[in-house]
Amino acid sequence: MPHSDADGWARVAKVAPYYTRHKSTCGISASKEAPLESSGYPYPIFVVQANQPDDVVYGIAKAMDDGYDAYKDAVPGASGLNPKTQNFQWVLPVHPAAVKAFKAAKIWKEADETYNQKLLARQKVLAEAWAAFNTASAPDEKAAFQKAWMATRKAALEKAGMDAIFE
């Protein structure tokens, strides 16, 4: 997946926005000297529910930043936890308390904030659509329920001017 193929990456983003550009440095046809342009997604990923206490989320985000040098070589994949190389413009919104920690570390940019606000607006549209769908006469049968929800979801996102992505 050549990184210079802007049209191709735009098509990927329409159906799989969780893929990002990645340079593979190991495997068939790839090395540190001749990396292969491909796709990937962040790993590992820290996820937290929005209702978690701010002090807990802030403390974890701050500890991950402050303590990175102490744990970066502990296990394979830990390099993916480097707060300074995170993709804050991915598919999941960032918790406000984590944003506060990233701002304090001077790694949160205005573009990250703008993008995060768009993701939060999307979450709100989906939450409102879900609540309305479940108070209406949602079908009981699993396949019919899924089909009806996906149609409701798509309509709500499109009404808000957002891509449905999954249909």
What is the average per-residue pLDDT within 30-41?
90
Which of the listed residues 108, 132, 149 is the one where a domain comes to its end?
Answer: 108
Residues 101 and 69 both lie in one domain? yes
Which of the listed residues 62, 79, 108 is the one where a domain comes to its end?
Answer: 108
What is the average per-residue pLDDT within 102-120?
97
Residues 119 and 157 both lie in one domain? yes
Give the span between the Cα atoms of 37 and 80, in whole angstroms.
18
Burial of 94 (0-12, 13-18, 19+ CB in 10 A): buried
What is the average per-residue pLDDT within 71-99?
90
Chain-centroid distance of CA 86 in Å reads: 11
Residues 103 and 118 both lie in one domain? no
Residues 103 and 116 both lie in one domain? no
Burial of 161 (0-12, 13-18, 19+ CB in 10 A): exposed
DSSP 24: E
Of residues 8 and 166, which shows the higher confidence score?
Answer: 8
What is the average per-residue pLDDT within 103-130?
97
What is the average per-residue pLDDT within 66-88?
89
Residues 118 and 164 both lie in one domain? yes
Please, which residues have CB within 8 angstroms of residue 131's CB and are 6 or more apart in sequence? none
What is the average per-residue pLDDT within 70-98?
90
Percentage, residues of the chain above pLDDT 70:
100
Task: Give the number of domains in the chain.
Answer: 3
pLDDT at 142: 96
**Model confidence at 166, in pLDDT bands (50, 70, 90)?**
confident
Given a contact cutoff of 8 angstroms between Cβ atoms, the answer to whether 57 and 48 are in contact is yes
Residues 37 and 51 both lie in one domain? no
Given a contact cutoff of 8 angstroms between Cβ atoms, the answer to whether 157 and 164 are in contact is yes
Residues 144 and 128 both lie in one domain? yes
Which of the listed residues 87, 108, 129 is the one where a domain comes to its end?
Answer: 108
Residues 57 and 88 both lie in one domain? yes
Residues 137 and 154 both lie in one domain? yes
Q: Which of 44-48, 114-118, 121-125, 139-143 has the lowest mean pLDDT?
A: 44-48
Please, which residues have CB within 8 angstroms of residue 60's CB and are 6 or more apart in sequence? 46, 48, 98
**Model confidence at 46, in pLDDT bands (50, 70, 90)?**
confident
Residues 116 and 140 both lie in one domain? yes
What is the average per-residue pLDDT within 67-74?
93
* The pLDDT of residue 44 is above 80: no
Facing residues of 24 across strands? Answer: 36
Residues 69 and 98 both lie in one domain? yes
What is the average pLDDT score of the chain? 92
pLDDT at 27: 83
- Domain region containing 32: 1-41
